[in-house]
Amino acid sequence: MKDNILEIDNLHVRFSTFDGLFSAVNNVSLELKYNESIGIIGESGCGKSTLSFTVMRYLASNAQVDGAIRFKGENLFDKSEKEMESYRGDRIAMVFQNPYSSLNPSLTIGFQLDEVSMHHQNLNKIQAREATIKALEMMNLGDPKGIARRYPHQVSGGIQQRICIAMALLCKPDLMILDEPTTALDVTTEAVILDSIKELKDKLNMSLMYISHDIGVINKVAEKIVVMYSGEIVESGPKQKIFENPSHPYTRALINCMPRGGVVKENTKLNTIPGYVRKRGADEGGCPFADRCEKRNETCESLYGTKEIGEGHFAACDRAYATDVPDTFIEKLAPKKRNVDTDFDSEKELLKIEDLHKIYGARRKVYAVNGINFDVKPHSVLGIVGESGCGKSTTGHMVSGLFKPSKGRILFDDVDVSIAWNKRDKETLKNIQLIFQNPGRSLNPSHTVEKIIGRAMQKLANINDVKERREKIIEILRKVDLGKEYLKKKPRQLSGGEQQRVAIARALSISPSLIVCDEPTSALDVSVQASVLNLLNDLQLDTHVAYMFISHDLNVINYLSDYIMVMYAGKIAEYGKRDEVMENTHHPYTEALLSAVPEVDPTKQKKIIELEGQLPDPAKKITGCPFAGRCHKQVGEICEKEYPPMVRLSEDHYYFCHIKP
């Protein structure tokens, strides 16, 4: 026991609501050693965040808690609120998922970091600022003094998240809890942050509790994995054993849901988990996963209970590979075939972009998109990938009409639609739909799910019959793994993943010709992401809809896309058919992106090409190659002085670089 910094014994957390008492964490016990890292994985609603909030004693007044949480041998439930102040931050620090809600928009970054040192470490202003600069340097941030003078909105999401980690480090904690801190970040930024966390853990002798729904991320930082489902631990053990021999059907299903290198839509459908995580009543017992499990039989309830599978490997079930119930997994992986009559290699383009520019501001200009040309063929998927600030979303928003281009043309079905959405005709509005990255901001908080989805059907598809509309809404909700009971719910009653599913259902409900998908799966669980990707693929095959799919996850882009466009600083770095770009990569930036993708298999960790510095200042016109300052293959002064020429490798595959093939 002396080796453990944290011990959780028989923890129960229940919440009293208008619908009754429900269990968020049920009979959880785990141990975390000094200088050990543990990864907690599971879908939204599985109790991961509630567990971390309970450790911090951040619980609402309607929570009922039983059990014990011992930190260095002392039970935190015996501490008063005043005594807990010396634990929070000082000894146990937490980094939240959303940096926007953690940072005060009206205070400079330096002031907020200084305040932490002054309060928790009793430093004066000068000492606090020195500690702030040192913490920012530890997070591999260039120009830490300049960043300290800025406000949160003046830095990217990746830098904001690193600032939140620096804030936690300033307290010099013994235990750091990270609640999905890299979910919405670029793979390059994520790689740097995960490496920083790993190095700082060893350097500062910290213990880590890392929460995520991405097993690839967990593999990078954790030595031990805990799988949670519906508030219970269903499996735990060393990451190698969990991956090689997942004993619980839920663990196996989670691993199989992950898109990974080599898995593409033509050959396979992603595995999904039927249904969704259901809230459990406080008195419910038995296996929480039984209603979704394909391996269940009549003994599941009576024999349910945690048992040791191997050394340090525990599971509440050992039926993941049971042969008495045959696998339906292989059968489900049979993909639908493309309609041979639909040839997206034809000369005709559904969407054609010509010399597209977007400049924000008048006095201080920001060059967001700097003259790009590409097209989207009917019934094809163009995957657009790149870091935050590279112009992906701006391009998508111009196509959908949210922004008017500063220069250039957008041709949709040979009609120029380079105008704002409110000047487009009704048919164009119906045919070009947009799925936003942040569903919380795109769903009307005062409307029910039925009204949110039904409004588009009524306004743009002329489905005015209430009964017919409701039937179609229920059908589309079922396709995105939501039940009939969601009709009367409002966005605030849904989790982030559920909100995103509603947003996707709304866009799909009126059968558009082109859907601009702006990172629609970045905030979703891997199981929901898999079902959404399968759904998008199936709908495309059924309806011949085309997608512009914007993402920072190259595994997702690789799975869904027919063509891939890599963007950097408002320019196209590389473009081509999926297999050409993924297997015959030429641009150094594309190489760096591919090297940073987290691996699902812990034995396949590769060398990451870490990109130093940040994207070039968008307020300045770039003369040379926009990637020159960060390129690991820079050939000389020509890179900084001359914009690189197009190097064409095939009819569809080209890149912009001074390095010849």
User: How deeply is 565 buried, as exposed, middle or buried, from its count of CB atoms within 10 A (0-12, 13-18, 19+)?
Assistant: buried
| Among 386, 426, 374, residue whose Cα is nearest residue 587 | 386
Please check the confidence at residue 332 and state whether its pLDDT lies above 50.
no
| Among 22, 30, 160, 45, residue whose Cα is nearest residue 97 | 160
Report the top-level CATH class of 351-656. Answer: alpha beta
For 458-470, the pLDDT digits (tens) are 988 888 889 999 9
Minimum mean pLDDT range among 222-236, 285-299, 563-577: 285-299
Fold (CATH) for 4-236+278-288: Rossmann fold (3.40.50)
Residues 6+ apart with CB under 8 A from 186: 158, 386, 387, 388, 552
For 18-29, the pLDDT digits (tens) are 878 889 999 999
User: Quick one: what percent of the chain has pLDDT higher than 70?
Assistant: 95
| Among 190, 237, 256, residue whose Cα is nearest residue 217 | 190
Please check the confidence at residue 41 and state whether its pLDDT lies above 60.
yes
For 525-578, the pLDDT digits (tens) are 788 788 778 878 887 887 788 999 998 888 889 999 999 999 999 999 999 999
As beta bridge partners, residue 314 has 236, 308
Minimum mean pLDDT range among 61-75, 152-166, 187-201, 327-341: 327-341
Please check the confidence at residue 324 and state whether its pLDDT lies above 60.
yes
pTM of the model: 0.82
Q: State the span(s) of the chain assigned CATH 3.40.50.300.
A: 4-236+278-288, 351-656
Averaged pLDDT for residues 626-630: 89
Q: How confident is the prediction for the chain on average, in pLDDT?
A: 86
Please check the confidence at residue 336 and state whether its pLDDT lies above 70.
no
**Residue 256 CB neighbour total at 10 angstroms:** 19
Query: Given this model, what pLDDT does residue 347 score?
Result: 58
**Residue spans of alpha helices (H) in 325-378:** 329-332
Query: Given this model, what pLDDT does residue 613 score?
Result: 67
Q: Cα-flanking dihedrals φ and ψ of residue 251, to 5°? A: -60, -45
**Greatest extent of the chain over all pairs of C-alpha atoms, in Å:** 73
**Residue 331 CB neighbour total at 10 angstroms:** 8
pLDDT band for position 43 (50/70/90)?
confident
Q: What own/partner pairs with CB < 8 Å and gap ≥ 24 does 630-637 have?
A: 631/588, 631/589, 632/588, 632/592, 633/588, 633/659, 635/659
Q: Looking at the chain, how many residues does it have?
A: 661
For 403-435, the pLDDT digits (tens) are 999 999 999 988 899 988 888 888 899 999 998
Amino acid at 566: V
Distance CA(524)–CA(393), nearest Å, equals 18
Minimum mean pLDDT range among 59-68, 303-312, 510-519, 536-545: 536-545
Chain Cα centroid distance, residue 518 = 12
Query: Given this model, what pLDDT does residue 328 score?
Result: 63
User: How deeply is 357 buried, as exposed, middle or buried, from its count of CB atoms within 10 A (0-12, 13-18, 19+)?
Assistant: middle
Distance CA(504)–CA(481), nearest Å, equals 11
Query: Given this model, what pLDDT does residue 1 score?
Result: 52
Query: Given this model, what pLDDT does residue 184 score?
Result: 63
As beta bridge partners, residue 235 has 227, 315
